[in-house]
Chain A
Amino acid sequence: MASIEKTERDRAAGFVAPALIWVLAFFVLPFAVMIGMSFARLEGRSIVHGFFPDNYLRFFSEPSLFKGLTVSLEITLIVTVISVLLAYPLAWIIAMRVPVRYQRLALMLAVLPFWTSYVVRSYAWLLVLGQNGVINKALMGLGVIAEPLAIASTRTATVIGFVHFFVMLLTLTIYANLIQLSPNYARAAADLGASAFATFRHIILPLTLPGVVTGAFLTFVLCIGDYITPQILGGNSELTLPQLIMLQLGRRGDFPMASAMSIILMAVVTLAYLACARWLKLDRV
């Protein structure tokens, strides 16, 4: 009996081994190497390994670097809040007001632009927001403005590009949450004399909060780590943390500094995770 169990276990270990080895070799090991790298030092063009806290100290003392973190945090928070505020009503309308048989269609339409390439989507916003873009041409044609608005290459453009992406994502997650609610809760509240608003405020909203927080957390993680959108839409007016990381790599091949900044980025994400861990149900997305 024991030997049967042992061969079974060996067989199972054989099944799981390839995946495990892949993750250890190409995820855990690189991550460990990167932590080591973050404590190395760049002297001239060569990397000196050791245990120097220089990179971390420099990051927190040099305003041009540290500002990347505050810019990233500000943009991410603004984007997360706006996206939730825009997506919730849409998800609610699709779940509660659109006839059931059209809901799937409405949802698919709401996320259709997901299927354009991410890089192309940011580029498309450039066409809309640029100096000669659709918005400026339209507003000038209508005589609303005389000079084109400078929207591209500003934080506003970055935020718009991000919000566009995350409204789609959040509509999906919040909708999935809303349709799981039994209509009986709302009915019961109404029977007890609650107004529509009170029902929403005290019944629907609290029940969907875990879904909202999960979506918001996803938004936070994806937004703060993204390089493409701020690089294409924000230009070089103010740099986010990922842009600064790429700059370290490109300009002088400063792997130690880039590694340290990546670790800091991960630390921020981990803190955000701990902050909302109470409501998170990542397995239910």
Chain B
Amino acid sequence: MGRILTWAYMALIYGFIFLPVGVLVLFSFQDSRLPVPPFTGPSLRWYAQVLGDRDLMAALGNSLLVALISSAVALLLGFLAAHALARYRLPGSVLIRGLLIAPMTVSYLIIALGLMTVFNQIGLRPSLLATGIGHVVINLPLCFAILYAAMGDQQKNAERAARDLGASEARVLWHISAPMLMAPMAAAFFLSVTFSWDEFIIAFLLTRFDVTLPVEIWSMLRSGLSPKTNAIGSLVFLVSISVLILLELTIFRKPRQ
């Protein structure tokens, strides 16, 4: 009895979790103009439309650009800061740590609004650059926290050995610290890319002519339901899952015991 209940509950919740995704993907293959039952497919016409849509493809490129560059900046800044705070005694280090983590606790809407106000005053127009700056703000705490937590004594000893052998600080960072932190660095970078790629409200308020993918999809929603939106949504999902599986099989693979 308990067993049946257990599996029934699991099936129910998994059904709930997969329902919208299943519907999304299924009706991306719809042949008619509305992504609602009855299913009239399968057809690939909406995928063809997506791939032929200049604005959508431009937005996709913009998103990729903003995500990769802002994540790289966040990772670099986070890595240097984590290195400094984990290895050296600095005055006010508790305060600095608090400041670096702080943006994590504030809603994106508020971060976006603040940046919008400041950028308005200094005359920085809404653009991909403005959005990228905002994305570094939200991803820096994440990169810093992950790398700070990952810096252990093992690296410390290796770094000291390299220094004793006469390596400069830059070489220690590049040849010892960074390679030893490969997995957490990859995790931080990948998470940052994901967050930036999917971020809506900052990009919505801080872009105007060149927009990112979530903003472009948002404007597609204004013209109502369309299998085309299903198609782009499914494509993004497919790409994310593929990247995830690839990472799971390579970098994050647990060593066999």
A-side residues, CB < 8 A to B, are 8-9, 11-16, 18-20, 22-24, 26-31, 33-34, 37, 86, 89-90, 93, 97, 109-110, 112-113, 115-121, 123-128, 130, 132-134, 137-138, 164, 167-168, 221-222, 224-225, 227-228, 232, 242, 245-246, 249, 255, 258-259, 262, 265-266, 269, 273
Name the residue of chain A whose CB is nearest to the CB of B81. A19
Measured between C-beta atoms, what is the minimum distance from A69 to chain B in Å? 14
Partner of A15, one of B6, B13, B21, B80: B80
- Residues on B with C-beta less than 8 A from A221 are 105, 107
Contact residue range for chain B? Answer: 35 or more
Is B244 in contact with chain A by the CB < 8 A criterion?
Answer: yes
B117:A168 contact, CB within 8 angstroms: no
- Residues on B with C-beta less than 8 A from A19 are 77-78, 80-81, 100, 140, 144
Number of A-B contacts (CB under 8 A): 222
Report the Cα distance A205→B252, complex, angstroms.
31
B-side residues, CB < 8 A to A, are 6, 9-10, 13-14, 16-21, 23-24, 27, 34-38, 76-78, 80-81, 83-85, 87-91, 96, 99-100, 102-103, 105-111, 113-115, 117-118, 121, 133-134, 136-137, 140, 144, 169, 198, 200-201, 205, 213-214, 217-218, 221, 225, 229-230, 232-233, 236-237, 240-241, 244
B88:A164 contact, CB within 8 angstroms: no
24 example contacts (A-B, Cβ-Cβ < 8 A) are as follows A9-B90, A15-B83, A19-B80, A20-B100, A26-B118, A26-B137, A27-B103, A29-B118, A30-B111, A30-B114, A30-B115, A34-B110, A89-B9, A89-B13, A118-B200, A119-B214, A119-B217, A120-B237, A124-B23, A127-B35, A127-B36, A134-B19, A225-B110, A249-B205
